[in-house]
Structure 1
Amino acid sequence: MEKLGIKEKKKLLPNRTVFHGIVHGLSCPLIGKIKIDVQFGDKTHFRCEPIWFEMKMSGPKGIITIAGDYQKSLTCAAASSRLVESLVIAEEKHLLDRAVAMASEQPTIPSDPKDAEYQGSFQPAMETKKIALDPAHPE
């Protein structure tokens, strides 16, 4: 922060990002994040944009700097993608198995609703009156 000319720590905002596995057995939160104006281009053609930066994290022996490895990142991303896909497939199979189990528990409904053996769970609360919906077809 000092090298960037930022002297006020109050400009740092809290950040919820946490790294795991960098310090063995511990999780390490970032120091914070800050918005800094960055100028792109040259003296004649330039643009200034505010950009959020996440500040480094502190470790047992001072500030920790992490160097990236793009090949390893791609490998990890592909592996996690396969893991997520397998978890989604497993969850969908579980839901399908539940639906099949629920369907097999349902009583079969006869094709003729007037079937004497079939006893539906619906019972009218009071006396009912039969009304023909279509006079041309009273049945």
Structure 2
Amino acid sequence: MTKLPATDTTFHGIIPGKAATLLGRISLDVVFGSSGNFRRERLDFKVVDWPSQYHVVLSRVALARFMAVPHYAYLKLKMPGPNGVITVSGNFTRSDSCDKEFHKISESFGMHEEFEQLKASTGFEQTPVSKKPAYQSEFNKKADTKEVQVHPTDPSKTAVISTSLPPA
């Protein structure tokens, strides 16, 4: 870890609402194909410390370096090789398992920090104020909704919306 060159790059969009800091970067030779038909390119990778089932994510730059074309529906990656097309095939069962695992992991991203911030800013001596009235009557379509024209020139095109919505 100490040999990783530092980087000031951050990832956005991995942890909702937060930036993920990097541990560093590394350059590695990446090879696709077999001994008779292969491609090798040196790619730069950003190193992060967060739980994931993925070991590496290939960027658009990496795909462009290999002149690779991904087809996500068929889990195929195709690129030109010296002796024809190199095809890398995925596994649907493994892909589905990875997606489910990543969903579980991604739900926990940033949750601990958010929980600690909420704990620090919450006064436990007062009960929370409810935004709902103590008694809420049953839904009444005539009283609780209104009809709004949605097409500027055709008054017959309308939508029924709640009367309690704030104006746009």
Task: Normalising by structure 1, report the TM-score.
Answer: 0.30
| Higher helix content, 1 or 2 | 1
Whose Rg is larger?
A: 1
Higher RCO (CA-CA < 8 Å; seq separation 6+): 2
| Higher strand content, 1 or 2 | 2
Task: Normalising by structure 2, report the TM-score.
Answer: 0.26
